[in-house]
Every structure is written in C-alpha cells, then in structure tokens.
Chains A and B, each alone.
Chain A
Amino acid sequence: MTKVLLIEDDDETAGEITAELADRGFDVEWSSDGLDGLAKARDLRPDAMIVDRLLPGMDGLTVIESLRKDQVRTPVLVLSALGAVDDRVRGLRMGGDDYLTKPFAIVELVARIEALLRRPPETRETKLRVGQLELDLIERTAKRGERKIDLLPREFRLLEYMMRRSDQLLTRAMLLEEVWNYKFVPATNLVDVHMGRVRHKVDGPGDAPMINNVRGAGFILRAVS
C-alpha cells in the first residue's frame, strides 16, 4: 500500500485529506507538528509527503530541507496559504516537488499526489502509446489505430503531456502550468476549449472516448479495449 505522510497542523483540513486519501487506498500517516513530522519522515520512509508550510515546531520548508540534506528524495507536495509566485518558487527551490495553494479542491490534491507518485521517468522514447493511440515525437504525427490525427503544435503538446500521464487525473491548473506554462488562471475556460478540440480529433465518430472529463475536476486519458 502506498504510504503518504501528511504534516498539517489544522485538524479539520488534515482530517479531510486523510479521509480522502484513505478512500483512494493510500496508507496515510498524519503529524501536526514540524519536528514530529520530520522524525516520522525519517522513520517511516513514506512514498510521498504532503507538507504544510507554516507548522508549529519547525517550518515546513525547513522540514523538507532537512530531509533533502539527509539525501531523502521522497516526493513532496507543499501546501500553503501563501500563493504568491515568489513563495511558490521558494517552496520549490527548498526541495518541494509541487506546490498547492490553499484553498484547494481535494481532487486537485489527490491528482497532484498521484502525479508525483507516478512521475514519469525521463525516457528517451520517441513513440508514446496508450491503447490504440500512438504519438511519434520525431515525426510529430499522431494515430488512433490506423486513423491519422492532424494536430496543431499546441494540441500535440497537450496530448503528449496527457499520454505521459495516462490514467491520471489532470486538473485544469496542472495543464495550464505544465502545457502552457501559465502562472495565472485565465477568466475564460481556455483549457476546456483546447481539450474539446483535442478530444474531437482523438475520439472520432464511433470511437469509444479516450479522453474523459471528470466533472469539476479535470481530465483523464484512458486506453480503451
């Protein structure tokens, strides 16, 4: 069972996160204090960690820094009420792998944890395959079965990102950050419009849908049998 260590001082938030992660099959260990959390991280060797920035005992970023000094490479998702870009950059520089600003949707948190746990290894593959869907990174071509898919450069990048993280929930914020490198949330539902176009091209008439919209959360690319 995947073990996740949550270091969060707010009981209610911690309770919600623990319950949600437990429902999804994670083994969650909770600590409400920085020092205790650091000790637990060293003892339990979890697969992933969720660390709040402002903690009693020891600041969240210091906890991560101490672990990184001990050569502990456990992926860490930093939680914080401080959402300014500079704060995020600092969080990532201190050793965090991802950063989520409060308030957040629980699905976003779970999606990010899953993404961290299944972070794709740096592959040199030139062809990506998910079920019938195939993407040639050299020739810049896409096919579903025998049907060629004509993609614009941005759509190609979006599909590549999704194929590298197939079966994972990808939230709109994740897509904006990773595919478009946007540091803000635009007023219009940009991601949905782009995704709609890609979906239209990938899931042709009569095809079983591969790109699934998870209501209020994001999108998942799944292989169909």
Chain B
Amino acid sequence: MQFIRSKTFHWTAALAGLFAIFVIVLSGFIYFRIDDYLIARSDRMITTQAGFFAGLPRERMISALDDHLEQDSRGVQFSGVFDAKGDRLAGNVAALPDGLAIGASARSVPLVRLDSRETGVTSVRTVARRLDNGDILVIGRNVDETAEVFRVVGAALGLGLLPAFCLWLLAGAWLSARASRRVEEVNLRVQRIIAGDLRERLPHRSVDEPFSRLAAIVNGMLDELETTINALAGVGNDIAHDLRTPLTRARLTLERGRTNATTLEQLQQATDKAIAGIDQSLSIVTALLRLAEIENSRRSSAFGDVALGEMLREVCDMYEPIAEDKQVALSVNISAALSVRGDRDLLLEAVANLVDNAIKFTPRNGSVELELKRGEGETILRVRDTGPGISEHEHEAVLRRFYRSDKIRNTPGVGLGLNLVSAIVKLHGFRLIIHAGPGGRVEIVCPDEQGGRT
C-alpha cells in the first residue's frame, strides 16, 4: 500500500477528483439551461393556448378544451373554466387555486387534477385569463417530466462516473506502483554502485522513453567513470612503483656516501648520483602533471593556426645533431604548405616526442623520416623510422602510462612519451595511428572538420 503515499497516486487521485467535479458541474449547467429552455417553451405554449381559447365563445371553448385534454395522452395538460364565483364549469382542474394571479404571465401554481385527486397538489406552470363574460380560464402544463428525465440521466451519470473515478484511481495506483518499483530498483543499484560495485548499471529498456534515455545516459557516464577510476587506480600504482625505483636508488647512494665517503670528492659524487635519482623522480612528476594539464584541456585558449611544415622543420633542426651523433639519417618530406588549428607548443611537443622516440629506437645507420601530406579530407603528419617498430599487440599498451616494452627496458625514459602524444592528439580532436612494423610508423591524422586545410 506504499503507492497510496506516492506522489503519482496523489496526482492521479486529484486529477480524477477534478474530472468528476468537472463532469458534475457541466451536467448541472446543462440541466439548468435545458430546464430554463423547456419552462420558457411551455410558458409560451400555454400563453398562446390561453389566448386561443379565450377568443372562443363559451360553448365552443368548453368543447375545444375537452378535445385538448383528450388528446393529452401523457397527462401533462391542465385546463379549466370557472364562472365568476369560482365554480368549475369544465376542464380537469379541480378548483381555482388560492392566490391565482389572473391576467399575469405564466408562473408555477399549485393545482389539483380532477382525475387524480389522490396524488394531491402539483406545481404546474399556469396562466389564468378572465373572459369577457366574467368566467376564468386556467391553462397549465406540468413540467415535472423534464426534472424526471434529468433525475434518470443524473443517476446514470453518477453510476458511470463512479467506475470511471475508480478506474482513474486504479490507473494512478498502477502508475505509481510501477514508478516506485523502477525508482526502488534504481535506488538499489545506485546503492550498490556507492558501495563500490562499479560494474553495476541502471535498468533500462530499449524503448524511446525519457526514463530509459536517462538510464542509458547515466550508464554511459558510469562506463566512463569506471574506465577512468580503473585507469586512475592503475596509474596510482604505476606512479608509486616508478617513483620508488629512482628514490630508492637515491636513498641508497646517499646512505652509502654518508657512511663510506672519506673525501669531499667522494661525498660530492654520491650526492650527484642522488640528485640524478631525484631529478628522474621529478621528471616523472612533471610529465604526469603535464599530462593532467593537457587532459584537463586547459590550453584550448591557446589554439591558433599552426603551420605544420615550419614546425616539422624546426623539430628536425632541433634533433639533427642528435641523429647525426647516432648516425641516423633524419629527413623531412613536406608535400605542401599545410596548417591546422591547434596549440603550436603542444603539437611541437607531440612531434618532438615522436621524433625523440624514433631516433632513440632506430639502430645506427638507420633513418628517420618526417612526412607531411594530404590524405582524403585530412592532413597527415607521419614519423617513420627503420627501428624495430611497435608490434600489433602492443599498440594499445604503448599508450598506457609507464608502459615500457621488454625490448626497450634498457633505454632511458619514463614511459610517458606516447601517453603525452596521445593526450595532445586527443585534446585537438586528431587521431593517433600506430602502424604495425617492420619499422616504426606513427601518424597524427588531423581531419579537415577539425580545422585542417591547405
């Protein structure tokens, strides 16, 4: 019976009540309007009849009245002729009623019918005329039949209205029970989510109705949250793990230096090593903060037109000495002057990271090529190298924070480079595509609808 307390039920009951009141008021209005109309019509009729009968000589009038009464099969007509003393001469009215206003317009007057005295006095619409010979003509018509008709119709209406009202209440109860059942289910599931079960989802049917749409949206949000929270939990562990290594190294170095150093130089060496360890930890923290900054999209205000060719040449210029030192051929291949809308500093950082990686993983005498070209409706920035490349099963993994392939365990780095590139690319609405080997091939694809153009 909880539904009785529910708002839906209250609203339905209120609406049902309002509907019933409306129907009653409407019926009353119709009744009174029709009643008025019928009385006015009877009044007109009896006034015309009285005028007609009054114009006839006494004998003719009496016979006309008798005919008139004979034709009244429903027994609603009243008529009578009385002499000046009030004695009945003809008609079915038993006696002249008290207070009869002779010559006045039609009104309700209590009359007794001659042929049914036992039923007593009936209120009848009546006109009375004094004739030229002093006689009094009384013409009446019983309008109680209209009241009767309405009594019947009213009773039918009442009987019809009651089940309708009950039906409304039942519908209200059903709707309210259904809504509260769904809300209860949602409550239950939300409580499970609050309790930590992030895999729980809200119930929804595949029909296009607001509640299901809302549930689908909330479920989408929960999917996103679950992914983020899981990623965060993973990142937390990864950060702790990756910071632990250089910090432990720094601690050990300092501890050993403090105990074993016998000269200032030895102590300085130990300190330098410790500082290097701490610097590595700081570079991890800095990279993470930078990732957070980029992922929060706080830099979209710095968006502008970025000439990609010029940017690639700059990166190439910057990395040329490093490539040369490693005997890696670094080249740029720009097919046209292309530009995109974006943050120049961030895009430069992304490309620099890709080139940095490419040079790092390309063996001696290999080559790294930067390429800028137009695709179909998109601008493509490609970094290609003759290194080992990224195997297909690692394509997703390399975008995870701190992921370091077994092949590169001994290469310096913190495993955040591609993560940063991915975050920057995502911020711009571009796509990062890692192609399968042999050789490394990574592309940043800038679709035209994001502002890419020639």
Interface residues of A, Cβ cutoff 8 Å to B:
83-86, 103, 154, 180, 182-188, 190, 193-194, 196-197, 215-216
Contacts and interface: CB of A to CB of B under 8 A. Distances in A.
B429 interface: no
Interface of B: 272, 275, 282-283, 286, 289-290, 293, 298-299, 301-302, 317-319, 321-322, 325, 345, 348-349, 352-353, 356, 359-360, 412-413, 417
Contact of A185 (B283, B289, B293, B348): B283
A84 B298 contact: yes
Contact of B352 (A186, A196, A215, A216): A186
Contacts of A187: 353, 356, 360, 412-413, 417
Given A84-B293, A85-B299, A103-B282, A183 B318 contact: no
A178 B349 CA distance: 16
A183 B349 contact: yes
Given A83-B289, A184-B290, A216-B272, A190 B319 contact: yes
B345 A190 contact: no
A103 B317 CA distance: 30
Contacts of A185: 283, 286
B349 A184 contact: yes
21 contacts: A83-B286, A84-B293, A85-B299, A86-B299, A86-B301, A103-B282, A180-B318, A183-B349, A184-B290, A184-B352, A186-B352, A186-B356, A187-B360, A187-B412, A188-B322, A188-B356, A190-B318, A193-B321, A193-B322, A197-B321, A215-B272
Contacts of A83: 286, 289
Tell me whether chain A's interface is mostly helix, strand or loop, or mixed.
loop
Given A84-B298, A85-B299, A183-B345, A190 B286 contact: no
Nearest to A190: B318
Nearest to B275: A216
Nearest to A82: B289
A185 B272 CA distance: 20
B264 to A, nearest CB: 14
A190 B322 contact: yes
Given A86-B298, A190-B318, 14 more contacts: A83-B289, A85-B299, A85-B302, A85-B345, A182-B345, A182-B348, A184-B290, A184-B352, A185-B286, A187-B360, A187-B413, A188-B359, A190-B322, A193-B325
Contacts of B319: 188, 190
Contacts of B413: 187
A110 B392 CA distance: 49
A83 B299 CA distance: 13
A45 B289 CA distance: 36
Given A85-B345, A103-B282, A216-B272, A188 B321 contact: no
Contacts of B353: 186-187
A90 to B, nearest CB: 12
Contacts of A183: 345, 349
Given A187-B413, A193-B322, A154 B352 contact: no
B254 to A, nearest CB: 15
Contacts of A215: 272
B278 to A, nearest CB: 9
Q: Rank and list the top 4 A-B pairs by shortest CB-CB distance, nearest first.
A: A183-B345, A193-B321, A84-B293, A184-B349
A103 B282 CA distance: 8
Contacts of A194: 321
B184 to A, nearest CB: 46
A207 B404 CA distance: 44
Contacts of B325: 193
Contacts of A180: 318
A145 B185 CA distance: 87
A186 B421 CA distance: 13
B289 A188 contact: no
Contacts of A84: 289, 293, 298
Contacts of B317: 154
A62 B298 CA distance: 23
Contacts of B298: 84, 86
Nearest to B322: A193
Contacts of B360: 187-188
Contacts of B321: 193-194, 196-197
B158 to A, nearest CB: 75
B338 to A, nearest CB: 21
Contacts of B352: 182, 184, 186
Nearest to A155: B321
A84 B272 CA distance: 28
Nearest to A85: B299
A185 B282 CA distance: 12
A187 B317 CA distance: 16
A49 B353 CA distance: 36
A46 B322 CA distance: 43
A83 B292 CA distance: 12
A180 B272 CA distance: 27
Nearest to A215: B272
Nearest to A198: B321
Nearest to B343: A85
A70 to B, nearest CB: 30
Nearest to A86: B298
Contacts of A154: 317-318
Contacts of A188: 319, 322, 356, 359-360
A197 B322 CA distance: 10
B284 to A, nearest CB: 12
A111 to B, nearest CB: 16
Nearest to A176: B318
A154 B316 CA distance: 12
Contacts of A216: 272, 275
A180 B298 CA distance: 23
A18 B205 CA distance: 68
